[in-house]
Amino acid sequence: MKLNVKLFADGADIAGIREMASNSSIAGFTTNPTLMRKAGVSDYKAFAKEVLTIVPDKPVSFEVFADDFPTMELQALEIASWGKNVNVKIPVTNTKGEFCGALVKRLSDAGVQLNVTALMTLDQVQRVTDALNPNTAAIISVFAGRIADTGRDPVPVMAKSVEIMKAKPKSELIWASPRELLNIFQAEEVGCHIITATNDILKKLSLFHKDLNLYSLETVEMFYKDAKAAGFNIAV
């Protein structure tokens, strides 16, 4: 199976990162404070340094966690210093809803490789693209999965985002928060550069074009074996 869209593993479990780092089909890694908290990470920098020893030569995104732009900028510069393969994740707004554009421009102009995250609208994509320095590589993460959670089709949004971002050829679009394997092929079709996925979704790649009759039979067998193992009994 040959894909043009790059697969990035999304998570904060060290064992999972190590497993995916050995997978040649995985082109990069992303994480965020929520995933790190869920994985029990308590020392941010120590965790990041460990990840970078496991993944020394593929892109890795680490996110700032301040809520004011001056502190975000200091954190971004520190995170960027951890490795040449680091992308610094900046949220599209702070918790007050204030747009990050001025910060993105300063950091991008300074040569910091950004991953601007949590975007969900085309207006946000346009404004972030406008703020990027054309000579600095960058990523824009549009949360297609969360758009879909609201009952909206994310495909047109992602397709239009690809077009908008052509104004900055060194920028790449991430289809973020996918919900199923199908999203990988949707991202491929609209020309997304990258899709992030958790390990459980990435492992489903082995199901690509699996015979559906066989898959049906295996499902029946699973139900039967689990009922038997549970000792279920109905007197008839």
Which listed residue (2, 45, 58, 89) is catalytic?
Answer: 89
Kindly give, in sequence order, each residue whose CB lies less than 8 Å from that of residue 199, ignoring residues fewer than 6 positions away.
Answer: 9, 11, 13, 16, 19, 20
CA dist 184 and 8 (Å) reads: 11
CA dist 86 and 80 (Å) reads: 6
Amino acid type, 164: I
Amino acid type, 232: F
Half-sphere exposure of 215 (CA within 13 A, CB side): 8
Q: Is 89 a catalytic residue?
A: yes
Terminal C-alpha separation, the chain: 50
Cα separation values, 58 from 16, 93, 231, Å: 16, 27, 48
By the 8 A CB rule, do 74 and 65 touch?
A: no
Active-site residues: which are they? 89
